[in-house]
Amino acid sequence: MRWFIAATLIACLSPTLPAHHPDKENHPVHPRIDLIGPLGDRLPPSYRRRYNRPSNIAGKISYYIAPSSLEAMSWHASKHRNAYKDHKPRTVMHYFYPKPWEVLKIGPRINTVNMADINKRPSALPEFEANETLQDVIQKEDDALQLLQTAPEEGASPSDQPLLPAE
């Protein structure tokens, strides 16, 4: 057992003893030459780049793994357009509706220090409901307030019932 511990200590500590930073002043540093070079300079464009859609097999696999991924949704749309069956050319979709950041009226927050500005802002409700308060809505319905105040006795939930039946 002592030999095992001694051998382990020697093996663990021996690489760290002579370790030091390279001496760049006394030893010149030569850059490594890349003999093979980057691959793919003259390769043909991929199927995805040529047709703007994933290949049929890759899209089907990605659809079964993660249906909400971009690859799967693109494959699904291309499949419904019969792009794989009819060998259709490159398709670029155009959308002719405004973007969300163009439609939303985004502005500064309401000034809570000066509350007079709130009455000047237009209401999001229709005109016939704009000046209506909760009290007006309750008064429209005669029995609405009474229905809210009285709790129904029948139809209680199971959690309202006692655990053991009364005998």
CB 118 within 8 A of CB 110: yes
> CA 129, 131, 136 angle in degrees (round to 5)?
80
| Residue 137 neighbours by CB under 8 Å, 6+ apart | 144
Per-residue pLDDT of the chain (167 residues; tens, 9 = 90+): 888 888 887 777 766 556 666 676 777 777 777 777 667 667 788 898 899 999 999 999 999 999 999 999 999 999 999 999 988 899 888 878 887 777 777 777 766 666 666 667 666 667 766 677 777 776 776 566 566 666 556 655 656 655 665 55
For the chain, what are the domain ranges? 47-102
| Residue 84 neighbours by CB under 8 Å, 6+ apart | 56, 78
Lookup result for tokens 């390769």 = 43
- DSSP secondary-structure letter at 68? T
What pLDDT digit, counting tens, does each position of 16-51 carry?
Answer: 556 666 676 777 777 777 777 667 667 788 898 899
The two three-digit tokens of residue 44, written as one number: 């043909």
- DSSP secondary-structure letter at 18? S
